[in-house]
């Protein structure tokens, strides 16, 4: 046995834990890049021996006559990238540990070129090696990361080796327990990105919330070079300007134009092209303003009621993590069919395809980081991990005009540590992106004598209050729904970010009489009652049924009806419309007629 010894192992773990991946450059899809998707060779490592004494990252081969190795990558053991590993092999269905991936590639370096390897996401911890050398580690299953590999790549036979481990961890984000399936693996696209020495790392082009003919923003280069001319072109708006970088490699953009605004009915996008030296990047950008005035949400200056739905990043028919444009289209088309103008993408940042499909189809978006029930707030590392995820997603999506909310949490119980963390995250989101609204989904609402009171002290720090309430399912109605009184100390809009109940499609047992029958009629009553209540809440500015489609959740163990699925979908896992779908759709269609937007 070739062991590296305990000290070596500890040092290696420490090195891994300390070297986070570089925050990735934005808009990989608009750059000079090639996909490293496809079949990757894999090794299943349930005891996680490969990171320690087995040293799988070396990808070594036997050398002499008496030598042998007790691991090997080979072409007969492959998994598709992107894609979660759990859905690709029956023996991995409930797997929560390490899988090693390897992809060989050749590369012809050009003059003055730089090369980066970029991962859209890997759940939950990824350790990345190139030709036996560690590039670094990324923690967090739903945000992108990259490593520069200029100078490390050879013309022939490079091997990128990645250990992905999806074990749930106490101080992880999310933590030990959550109500969705823990799909592990390299779940999103992998790109090789070519740049020149100086390139555009980041940019923002959005409307000034106070003036809908004023495009503001910036470009930021990868390095702090002053005096670089960056060209910004939006041909359809006759914009063709050059801005000059300061000593930080940063240049502000400020342009006045008459613009056709992005709206749910006319989701207009403009082609944008930015370039510096030989490096260029293209995007499709929309313009709109979003703000709060008193208890109203204003889109392009007009009050809007959000007809939403909650969506998990899962394709239920395949029992797999959604990862492609085609997957995104399935989910987004369902939301459109329901009559939505808004989607809440729970409970973690979804892939870029989904956000872009929503943008093209006119759906506003709530994005969320996985600060979910059960977070270990007293742990000293938690706040920074959450803040990093927030930075990563805001950096990635701040040019998507349909994203209107950054949500910093879902259902966290008040405590000193939790309050401090959420307030800091809300402030950080505002600081990073002052033009969008900050929200969180709360469930600690007091309900007595038929009165719902919003009391959480953190509500003061968000622009819009999200409330998850399950009246008629987890909570009984103490009064007639239309008599429930909502009281708020905050002069702010509220969204019911979750409500609903469980039913099995086409299950006719016991009709509407009891919850434990999982019947569609029981849930129809919940929806009818909820709608009655919604009509009487003066500061309500949107609702999101829980949830678009039944989704897998190992904590749902009722063996006749649930069978490992959370059955609160308006659609069954096969996409069949349950009765509650029609109740919601009818109300949404009426609202659309009355409100116009």
CB within 8 A of 108, min separation 6: which ones? Answer: 155
Stretch 307-366 residues interacting with ligand GCB (CB under 6 A): 347
CB within 8 A of 306, min separation 6: which ones? Answer: 297, 341, 342, 364, 495, 541, 542, 543, 544
What single-letter DSSP state applies at residue 120?
Answer: S
C-alpha 141/C-alpha 411 separation (Å) is: 20
Sheet strands side by side (includes 200-208): 200-208, 211-221, 250-256
**Which of 279, 327, 411, 520 is the binder for ligand GCB (CB under 6 A)?**
411
- Residue with smaller CB distance to ligand GCB, 281 or 580: 580
CB within 8 A of 326, min separation 6: which ones? Answer: none
- Residue with smaller CB distance to ligand GCB, 441 or 583: 441
Stretch 368-407 residues interacting with ligand GCB (CB under 6 A): none
- Residue with smaller CB distance to ligand GCB, 204 or 568: 568
Residue 568 as a binder of ligand GCB (CB under 6 A): the answer is yes
C-alpha 406/C-alpha 365 separation (Å) is: 9
Taking the complex as a whole, how short is the minimal distance between the CB of residue 573 and ligand GCB, in angstroms? 15
Residues 103, 322, 271: CA angle, nearest 5 degrees: 90
- Residue with smaller CB distance to ligand GCB, 522 or 546: 546
The residue nearest ligand GCB at its CB is 179
Tell me the HSE value of 477 on the side-chain side, using a 13 A CA sphere.
16
Residue 276: phi, psi to the nearest 5?
Answer: -140, 135
Taking the complex as a whole, how short is the minimal distance between the CB of residue 322 and ligand GCB, in angstroms? 17
Q: Number of residues in contact with ligand GCB, rule: CB under 6 A?
A: 10
**Which of 546, 581, 587, 588 is the binder for ligand GCB (CB under 6 A)?**
546
Write the binding mask 498 to 527 for ligand GCB: x where contact by CB under 6 A, - elsewhere: x-----------------------------
Taking the complex as a whole, how short is the minimal distance between the CB of residue 212 and ligand GCB, in angstroms? 34
**What are 316's two structure tokens?**
């239920």
Q: Which of 119, 123, 152 is nearest to 139 (CA)?
A: 123
Write the binding mask 175 to 204 for ligand GCB: x where contact by CB under 6 A, - elsewhere: ----x-------------------------
C-alpha 371/C-alpha 393 separation (Å) is: 13
C-alpha 318/C-alpha 258 separation (Å) is: 45
- Residue with smaller CB distance to ligand GCB, 221 or 580: 580
Stretch 439-478 residues interacting with ligand GCB (CB under 6 A): 443, 468
Per DSSP, the three-state class of 332 is: helix
**Which of 86, 421, 566, 572 is the binder for ligand GCB (CB under 6 A)?**
566
Q: How far is CA 405 from CA 82, 340, 366, 497, in A?
A: 27, 16, 5, 12
**Which of 123, 410, 530, 572 is the binder for ligand GCB (CB under 6 A)?**
410
Taking the complex as a whole, how short is the minimal distance between the CB of residue 307 and ligand GCB, in angstroms? 20
- Residue with smaller CB distance to ligand GCB, 347 or 492: 347
Using CB under 6 A as the criterion, which residues of the chain lie in contact with ligand GCB when the complex forms? 179, 347, 410-411, 443, 468, 498, 546, 566, 568
């Amino acid at each position: 046995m070739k062991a590296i010894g305990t000290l070596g192992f500890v040092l290696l773990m420490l090195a891994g834990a300390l070297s986070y991946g570089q925050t990735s450059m934005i808009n990989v899809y608009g750059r000079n890049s090639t996909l490293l998707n496809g079949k990757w060779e894999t090794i299943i490592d349930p005891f996680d021996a490969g990171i320690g004494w087995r040293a799988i990252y070396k990808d070594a081969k036997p050398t002499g006559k008496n030598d042998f190795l007790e691991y090997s990558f080979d072409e007969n053991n492959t998994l598709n990238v992107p894609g979660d590993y759990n859905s690709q092999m029956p023996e991995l269905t409930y797997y929560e540990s390490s899988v090693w991936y390897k992809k060989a590639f050749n590369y012809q370096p050009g003059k003055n070129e730089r090369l980066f390897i970029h991962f859209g996401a890997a759940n939950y911890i990824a350790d990345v090696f190139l030709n036996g050398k560690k590039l670094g580690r990324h923690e967090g299953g739903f945000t992108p990361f990259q490593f520069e590999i200029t100078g490390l790549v050879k013309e022939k036979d490079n091997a990128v080796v990645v250990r992905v481990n999806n074990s749930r961890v106490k101080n992880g984000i999310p933590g030990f327990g959550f109500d969705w399936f823990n799909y592990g693996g390299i779940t999103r696209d992998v790109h090789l990105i070519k740049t020149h020495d100086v390139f555009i790392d980041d940019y923002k082009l959005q409307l000034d919330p106070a003036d809908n003919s004023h495009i503001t923003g910036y470009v930021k280069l990868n390095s702090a070079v002053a005096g670089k001319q960056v060209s910004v072109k939006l041909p359809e708006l006759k914009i063709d300007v050059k801005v000059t970088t300061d000593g930080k490699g940063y240049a502000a953009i400020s342009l006045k134009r008459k613009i056709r605004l992005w709206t749910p009915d006319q989701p207009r996008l403009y082609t944008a092209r930015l370039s510096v030296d030989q490096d260029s990047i293209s995007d499709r950008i929309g313009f709109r303003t979003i703000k709060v005035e008193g208890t109203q949400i204003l889109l392009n200056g007009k009050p809007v009621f959000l007809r939403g739905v909650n969506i998990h990043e899962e394709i239920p028919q395949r029992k797999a993590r959604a990862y492609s444009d085609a997957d995104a289209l399935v989910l987004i088309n369902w939301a459109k069919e329901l009559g939505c103008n808004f989607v809440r993408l729970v409970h973690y940042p979804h892939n870029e395809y989904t956000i872009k499909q929503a943008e093209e189809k006119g759906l506003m978006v709530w994005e969320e980081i996985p600060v979910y029930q059960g977070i270990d707030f007293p742990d000293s590392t938690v706040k920074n991990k959450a803040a990093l995820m927030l930075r990563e997603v805001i950096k990635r999506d701040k040019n998507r005009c349909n994203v209107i909310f950054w949500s910093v949490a879902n259902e966290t119980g008040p405590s000193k540590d939790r309050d401090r963390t959420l307030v800091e995250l809300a402030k950080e989101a505002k600081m990073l992106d002052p033009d969008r609204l900050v929200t969180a989904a709360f469930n600690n609402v007091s309900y007595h004598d038929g009165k719902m009171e919003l009391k959480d002290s953190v509500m003061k720090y968000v622009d819009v209050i999200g409330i998850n309430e399950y009246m008629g399912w987890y909570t009984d109605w103490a009064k007639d729904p239309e008599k429930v009184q909502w009281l708020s100390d905050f002069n702010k809009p509220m969204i019911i970010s979750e409500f609903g109940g469980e039913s099995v499609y086409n299950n006719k047992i016991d009709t509407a009489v009891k919850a434990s029958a999982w019947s569609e009629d029981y849930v129809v009553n919940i929806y009818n009652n909820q709608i009655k209540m919604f009509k009487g809440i003066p500061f309500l500015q949107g609702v999101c049924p829980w949830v678009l489609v039944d989704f897998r959740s190992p904590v749902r163990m009722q063996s006749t009806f649930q069978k490992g699925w959370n059955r609160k979908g308006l659609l069954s896992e096969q996409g069949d419309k349950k009765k509650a779908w029609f109740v919601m759709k009818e109300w949404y269609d009426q609202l659309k007629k009355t409100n116009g937007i």
